[in-house]
Amino acid sequence: MKTILLIGLGRFGRHAARKLQELGHEVMAVDKDEERVNDALSFVTNAQIGDSTRRDFLASLGIPDYDLCIVSISGDFQSSLETTSLLKELGARYVVSRGERDIQAKFLLRNGADEVVYPEKQAAIWTAIRYSSDHILDYIELDGTYSIFEVTVPENWEGRTVKELDIRRKYEIQILATRQNGRLDMVVRPDTALHASMTLLVLGEYKALQKCFRA
């Protein structure tokens, strides 16, 4: 369990706060809008109304006590930048800030952010990959080259074993696990037979996955 300070309760902030609480973390949520703070009280550990660009307000929250600070302010880059900088000045251990453009990321990183996330960009990439393919259901990008994809079993693979398909040699991708009836099985043997009712978690370069599954 981590203690997390989340600043900004717009759409992204609310979704992040709900998921963090669901994962068992303690979440202190902050926004200058009273209605947003009141709405969040049911799914965060604590919440306060306040202006995160004010040093005295942020200092009162005990910034060094949090394992992680997330700046999810949207539509006001100046406030996001000032908040990020103040958090680091006040001893924040790790700051993740929301950005909308590359130029914003450069300023955020220079002014204290340890990492910058792009919700809209990441969602757009996910949507493009997911819905332009017949087989890809989900994916996690590990770096600029490798990804883990969850895919359906191609029709011409049904009933065949991992050994028979030999996809590691042919396509340079690896089956990490299978999922069937909601159950994830991490043991994939050469004699594991693949069926239409399964999905596969596979690891490889995106180009190799694209070639294999005709994404």
Q: Which of 6, 63, 58, 56 is nearest to 36 (CA)?
A: 6
All structural domains of the chain, each given as residue ranges with its CATH number in brackets, are 3-117 (3.40.50.720), 122-213 (3.30.70.1450)
Q: Which amino acid is at 102?
A: D
User: In whole numbers, what is the pLDDT of the chain averaged over residues?
Assistant: 89
pLDDT above 50 for 193? yes
Q: How much is the average pLDDT of 195-200?
A: 91
pLDDT above 70 for 130? no
Cβ-Cβ contacts under 8 Å for 176 (sequence gap 6 or more): 148, 186, 188, 201, 202, 203
Report yes or no on whether pTM surpasses 0.75.
Answer: no
The proportion of the chain whose per-residue pLDDT surpasses 90, expressed as a percent, equals 60
